[in-house]
Structures are given as structure tokens and as C-alpha cells.
Structure 1
């Protein structure tokens, strides 16, 4: 793999865990990698054919998307982007579509249906709420739960800080499908395979057989805890197993660095561990939030080898989704549920960091 454009640093404060920018993933296939794979630090990919190219996903806002397109421009000078595939409905994979002028935009029917319900206004209101909480949390008045308010404000504020939503003009798919769809991109065969619901209701992966590369999008998180908004967990595991069955040599995740089959298998391990560890506690009547906190703050996540993945607090959403499917009550979270999830994740992340600092301090 050759890095072609390597000045891309993490959007959130942290050292880079891997090299960012435009990276060759296979013959005529390039990945745009955004370290370190946390919220909004999403990847995209480019396939170059004879006289035309395929872009797989845009980014969360126009500015980030334009930066990516500027890096790609020399590669597509003689093979313009005529087709854009959005792998699912999360905004960090399609809210930059407006920058790819004139391209046919393809997504699954299920993803398109979710996209039609979205608006940047919701997330802008969420950011405004975080700013208000920040002011309240910094108050000198010692009101109840002031510290928790400050923790939540800092977590949500940083999660959204790098992104500019004011100029987003939502540009939805112009073509949808269900199941599988084969494309010809400048003489190269590309297969779009619907694998949702899993991460979201309408996930798809992109298989490029002549390069032995699979663009897994948010079916695959590497070095970052996945987040399961839709489920079921069995569907996500099945999608990962399908990825392995393709015979790919390289996988481009939606978040994290390019990887091989071993890393795909490790994500399967995570889901099986979480399903087993959470399932028994849920069956005994424990609340999903209590189960998630026990798993993340206990020794089990360390023993299982997942404590070093970024964002372990996302287990809160994952356990909630597991429980909802267990009770046959699963549905996509609405704005209120998402706000509640972020508040709870903020507090869990704070407690996880404090526990880790305490343990490491004791060892020293």
C-alpha cells in the first residue's frame, strides 16, 4: 500500500494511530483514510476505470469532502467521477454529496428511505444544546450534577466541533436498489451487495473482484468500537462472514486503517463476546445501561482484548440494540434517544478514562 497524500491528521485531539490521506489499496483502487476513525473521522474510496471512476462515499461536510476531492483530482483527470455510491445513511458518508456534481448517486432503497428523514438542523440543534450545557457546567453555582453536565458538554462539543454543517445541501441518491447490483466502471466490474440491516437499515459493501479489494464501509471498524444503531447482531456477523467469503486480500473499513482478514475476524469476535456477555445479564433482568457499564468498567473487556479500541462507551448503544431485538422491540433511535445515548456515553467514557488512569497509576 502506497500513501499518495499523507497530510491528513486526526480531526479530534490525539496522535495519529495510522497514516491518513489517499492510500493505494489495490490496482486502481484508492482509500481516503481519516485518522483515527472516531465520530465523523470516516473513510471513502475511489475506483478508477478506463475513462470513468467510481467514488464510494463522501464525508460529513462540504469542506472535508472538497479536501478529499482535491487530493483525488490528479487521479481522475482522464477518468472523471461519473458514479457515486453511498454505503449507508449516516451523514458522515453522504452529506458531502453536493460536491460531486453530475454523478449518478446510488444507495440501497433502505438507506435512501432513512436519508429522506434527515436534516442538518437536528444536529445543529444538538450542538447548540451542548454549548448551553457547557455554559451551565462552567457555572460557579454548585447546583446538583454540575460536574456531569460539564462532562456531557465537553464530550458532545468535541464530537461535533470539527464539522461545519451550515453549508450542507442534502443531495440524496438518484438510483436505488435492493439485494445486489453489478456496475461497469470503465470496463471494470464492481458488485454492490446489500448487507443491512446491521450498522444501519440499508448498509451495503462494494466488491472489486479484479483488485481483490472489498470496501466494507461501516460494516467494518478497525481499532474503534463499532456502533450498532439498527442490528440485529446476527445480521452484522453475517455481513462480516460474507466479507471473508469474498476472497478479498484487502478491506477498506468505514473507520480505521486498511486491513486483512484477521482484523475482520476480530470484529466478529467482539460481537460474539458482547452478545454472550450482555445476553446473560439482560436475561437476568439487568437494564441495558447497567449491563454496558459493568462490561466496559469491569475486567472482562480487558480480558477479551477490546479495552484498547477507541470509543468503548459505544457498548451502551450496542447493548441497547441487542436488548431491543431480544424483546422484539427494535427500531431506529429518534433524536431524543440519540441525545440520551450520547449523554450516557459521555459519562461512561469519563468513568472509563478515570478507571484506566487509576489502574495505570497504581502500576507505576
Structure 2
């Protein structure tokens, strides 16, 4: 049997960008399931939350920002360490790049491998990859648990509410506006990537997000959620996918089945409900492989490399 190409390598369609105002201070830059960017406009400065994958791609975000404000972009916040979220940071020329200390640890530990892995997996998402400066994107400020910034009179909270998508996940919360930027802890009509996840923790972390009672939410992928009902649907959809996938994999591991069999069973179980979500076929091999490791007792995710990606894909889809 010939090897099936990475699902993302067949994903060549350019997505339609939307730039949506959610509150007096919050905007969402979304693109039909491609990675989202959040924008906060305070009294005296702008904050960008997740940067796009390359400086060239970030220029379109900057153009949209300049349509609504001429205030300086002082802060870039990284919700986590994945290359598709951070490599555009240099375009904004921020005073500070902020991440959780756990995210900084992950950049130190596996940033180079992750960069090579992601660019190899997702060529379209790294448009003009040659515009990325050499090296990694390094935070200039890191925090543990909570950091509060004031953009004039606007309170902006950076919060670690638990592990899920990665161990370093950060959300950005505007308590005055009741707007939450979740990063990839929440997706909407898009498949959660869970190759670096903590399946046992993720559902509780989503409950911790829900406890903030956000009225609007910008997910990592998918449309901005603009009503309390949509926010609930985004949180519940993500929780259901993560929980159902992990339950299927745990059952396979408990029965002593090999990864390939567990993968087939899990993809068959989840496809009827989630198969139409963006990047389902791309994410499932990574998600099941990580869940198999965690169910087998490997608490922390193994490092993905370009070589490991190819070997995994060949084993599961070849």
C-alpha cells in the first residue's frame, strides 16, 4: 500500500479572513479554522494574542489593527509554544513578548524540534516561511499562575487555569468586557490538536475556563463565539472530543491492543460525530498517539520531531 501523504499537504485552499469586534476593546482575527489571533485595544496600547505563523502573515493582522487604531502594539502574548502561534512575533515589534514560565520551559526544551516538525507538517500555514528570523521566539517576560496588565484603565488578566493542549497554556481574560481568549484549549468546529496534550487534565481546565463565565470567547481555531450559548457549545464540544477520544484509547490500552488497532477503533468511533471538523484527518494520528502514551503511563508528552512525525504517519496511515 502506498503511503498516504500528510493530510495537511493536501490542504491548499486559502481561507477567508474575518476581523470581528467583540467588545469595545476586543477583536478576533479568524480564518475558517486556520489559527486565530486575538487583539486587545486598551487606552494607551495594543496587545496581540498569538501571532500567526510567519512575519509575512502577521502583516495582514497589523493591517487590520491599523484600520481600528493607531495605538502602539506593546505586547504580544503567546498562549503556548507551538510554532504556528509564535513565529510571526517579530513583525509586531512589541516591547514585550509574554508567556507562562511553563511555556518558556517548553521553548527551551523542544522549540527547535517543534519548529521543524510543524513547518514540515503544515506548509500552507507557514506562508513566506523565509520571513521568519533565525532562531526561536523568546519571551521577554514570563509568569506563573497569573499576571495582570493595565492598558490604561483596561484590566487584562493572563491566567494559567490548568494543563490541556500543552502544559503551559495561557488564557487572556478581560473581566470588564467578559471576553476570553482561550488559545487552543478551546476549538470550535475544528479538531483539537492533542499531540502535546494532558488528556487527564484538559476537561477540568475547561471547567475552570467556564467558571469565569465568559460571554464571548475567541477559540484557537474556528469562528469567534459571540453569545453565552455559543461559548458553552465551544467549551462542551472541545470537552466531549477530548474525553471521548481518551476514553476510546484507554479502553484499547486496557485491553492490551497495539497502537495501530487502537487508532483504527478510535478514528472509526469519532468520525461520525467529528469527521467534518477542520483538520480531523491530520490531527487524529497525533492525538491518538499521545493519548496512547498517556494511557500507558507516560505523563509528559514526548518531543515531536520531523523524523518522528514521518515514522508515526507511516505506521498509522502508510
TM-score range, shorter chain: 0.7 to 0.9
Aligned to 2:204: 238
Aligned to 2:133: 168
Unaligned runs of 5+ in 2: 1-9, 226-230
Match 1:33 to one of 27, 30, 34? 30
Q: What's the CA shift for 1:159? A: 5.3
Distance 1:349 1:101, change over 3 A: same
Aligned to 2:172: 206
Report the more deviating stretch, 26-35 or 307-316. 307-316
Aligned to 1:310: 278
Aligned to 2:12: 13
- CA displacement 1:202-222 (0-9 Å, x = unmatched): 111111111111100111122
| RMSD between aligned residues | 2.8
Q: Which has the higher contact order (CA 8 A, sep 6+)?
A: 2
Match 2:240 to one of 264, 269, 285? 269
Counterpart-to-counterpart distance in 2, 1:159 and 1:289 = 28
Normalised to the residue count of structure 2, the TM-score between the two structures is: 0.84
Unaligned runs of 5+ in 1: 1-10, 128-155, 351-364
Q: What's the CA shift for 1:225? A: 1.3
Match 1:295 to one of 244, 266, 276? 266
Q: What's the CA shift for 1:116? A: 2.9
Aligned to 1:119: 112
Q: What's the CA shift for 1:331? A: 3.4
- CA displacement 1:36-55 (0-9 Å, x = unmatched): 33xxxx11111111121211
Q: How do 1:220-231 and structure 2 match up within 5 A?
A: 220-231=186-197
Counterpart-to-counterpart distance in 1, 2:201 and 2:187 = 16
Q: How do 1:145-156 and structure 2 match up within 5 A?
A: 156=121
- CA displacement 1:136-186 (0-9 Å, x = unmatched): xxxxxxxxxxxxxxxxxxxx4755673514532433111101111111112
Aligned to 1:361: none
